[in-house]
Amino acid sequence: MKIYVAVAASALAVSSVNAVSDREVSLSAELEVTERPSYRSRALVASTSTSFVRSLKKTPNSDKFHTKPVRVIQARVQSDAPIWNETTNAFGSKYYDTAEEQFRGALDTVNTASVEGALMYVQAEGINYNTRSEEDRCWRKNGMQYVVFYDIVFAQTNETVAEYESEYGPMLPMDGGQCTPISGTNVFSKECVSLNGNTSVPNLGPFIGGESKETDARAPYPNCWWYSFPNNCPLQKWANKTEECRDSTRQGLCDMDTLPDGISCTYNYRILGYVPIDDAVGITAMTNKATGEKYANFTEFCEAGGVEFQASEAGVWNASIPFWKDPQNATANAVRTQKLLSAYANLLKSNKSSQIESAVIKHMQPLPTVAELTAGNPPCYFNVKDCDSEFGCKRELYGQMCTLCNSTATGCVPPPENFTFPTLAKAVVTVDATTGSTASSSVLAAGVAVASVVLSVLLA
């Protein structure tokens, strides 16, 4: 059973470190831990990899409980290549001028995908010749050209955990920086409205959404998940997001130097790097018979008569380059994901691509291993009530999803005997007696004893 779980590093009131067994996370200070004892071998746990998360500052707060940040690796299929900013030493969006805008613009109310399912969208919707008009045939849908890898840390809002009893809220489709309307241009779902609330919908805050997409018959990718990351002013498109709107709504994306706490903000990120789809699928390794040179890109390949992928609208294969053969086979799709990761690793190793300058590649970083992510993240029971069970949960994959355990299997981390997950009250719509304005609030239910455990969490 998969459970949406966010895990993190924020100090829950702690009374005794001895309550935590050696097989569980032992943390002396929130973001000061370099190693977490676990069922995994010490060689895997004692990784030398570094994470930007360790440089983020914690926002002081006095609440008794809030979810703890969890570090995950996710991917986005993009038409634009991120731009390197020498001032921030980070990649950002090329569509903006200032460092602040570039940072905000790269993950400003958008959807992402699990690394394991990054190619699902490309395969299902982006490359089928039969679903594109003849004039658009040599241009992938939305101009998709790169798979970009994001190193993300997030902390869910208490209101979301109370409402959905899960690490994630529902995944919300987002287009042009806007939570997608269900009708017209300004009729939104209750879930979209709840990102900031109104006179009839409680304010849950800018929650991170997640949804499984494993079963699409056109491209069944194992462990494929789609996510939503709403920032402030989520009901307006990028072009219409005024500073007034941004300032009057809750902040999803944290300031660049701030650790998310689920209160002041819910996520932060860095871009590790990106790989051209043309490189990953092998098009740039093919020779154009007319010129004797390697194809520069998909468009040149297509205009020369090449067929990248052709299938029925249901996904039944007709013709393709070798990379896309057997598209409805989940095992073959999992192999495709590994080829994508190998293409990125080879890019970093060779420092060469016909579509990316070597000076840019040198700034890219490898993906951490799943073991490194797991070792640095706190146990699932801190953030998910269902994991406060006999055998607990185990964390898996680049998305660090939590699976409920039914035995003492490797990786399963049960809570200490004296741990109790707090009962959180749901957000409610309230009217301010002074101003008459409507707002929403969420508090810990009375009688919850959170200080029963002395635990600190360390995030690598």
Instruction: Tell me, letter by letter, the H, E, C secondary structure of the chain.
Output: CEECCCCCCCCCCCCCHHHCCCCCCCCCCCCCCCCCCCCCCHHHHCCCCCCHHHHCECCCCCCCCCCCCEEEEEEEEECCCCEEECCCCEEECCCCCCHHHHHHHCCCCEEEEEHHHCCHHHHHHHCCHHHCCHHHCCCCHHHCCEEEEEEEEECCCHHHHHHHCCCCECCCCEECCEECCCECCCECCHHHHCCCCCCCCCCCCCCCEEEECCCCCCCCCCCCEEEEECCCCCCCCHHHCCHHHHHCCCCCECCCCECCCCCCCCEEEEEEEEEEHHHHHCHHHCECCCCCCECCCHHHHHHCCCCCEEECCCCCEEEECHHHCCCCCHHHHHHHHHHHHHHHHHHHHHCCCCCCCHHHHCCCCCCCCHHHHHHHCCCHHHCCHHHCCCCCEEEECCCCEEEECCCCCCCCECCCCCCCCCCECCCEEEECCCCCCEEEECCECCCCCHHHCCCCCCCC
pLDDT band at 235 (very low <50, low <70, confident <90, very high): very high
Q: Which domain holds residue 97?
A: 2-276+365-452
Token pair belonging to 376: 């640095």
pLDDT digit string, tens, across residues 18-55: 333 332 222 223 333 233 333 332 222 223 346 899 99
Q: Which residues sit opposite 311 in a β-bridge?
A: 317
Q: For residue 155, is it within any domain?
A: yes
Note the Cα 386 to chain centre separation in Å: 22
pLDDT band at 378 (very low <50, low <70, confident <90, very high): confident
Q: Domains in the chain: how many in total?
A: 1
457 has pLDDT over 80? no
Mean pLDDT of the chain: 85
367 has pLDDT over 50? yes
451 has pLDDT over 80? no
Q: For residue 437, is it within any domain?
A: yes
pLDDT band at 431 (very low <50, low <70, confident <90, very high): low
What gap in Å lies between CA 9 and CA 20, rounded to an integer?
A: 16
What is the average pLDDT across 156-166? 95
What is the average pLDDT across 412-432? 89
403 has pLDDT over 90? yes
Q: For residue 313, is it within any domain?
A: no
Q: For residue 330, is it within any domain?
A: no
* Contact predicate 380/393, CB 8 Å: yes
Token pair belonging to 13: 């009131």
128 has pLDDT over 90? yes
pLDDT band at 296 (very low <50, low <70, confident <90, very high): very high
Token pair belonging to 155: 């902390």
Q: For residue 283, is it within any domain?
A: no
Q: For residue 307, is it within any domain?
A: no
What gap in Å lies between CA 120 and CA 129, rounded to an integer?
A: 16
Identify the pLDDT of residue 312: 93
Distant-in-sequence, close-in-space partners of 228: CB < 8 Å, separation ≥ 6 = 110, 111, 112, 171, 172, 173, 174, 179, 208, 209, 210
**Sheet containing 401-404: which strands, arranged edge to edge?**
2-3, 401-404, 393-396
191 has pLDDT over 70? yes
Q: For residue 223, is it within any domain?
A: yes
- Percentage above 70 pLDDT, the chain: 82
| Nearest C-alpha neighbor of 31 from the set 376, 269, 399 | 376
Q: For residue 97, is it within any domain?
A: yes
What is the average pLDDT across 189-200? 97
Q: Which residue has the higher pLDDT, 200 or 457?
A: 200
pLDDT band at 62 (very low <50, low <70, confident <90, very high): confident
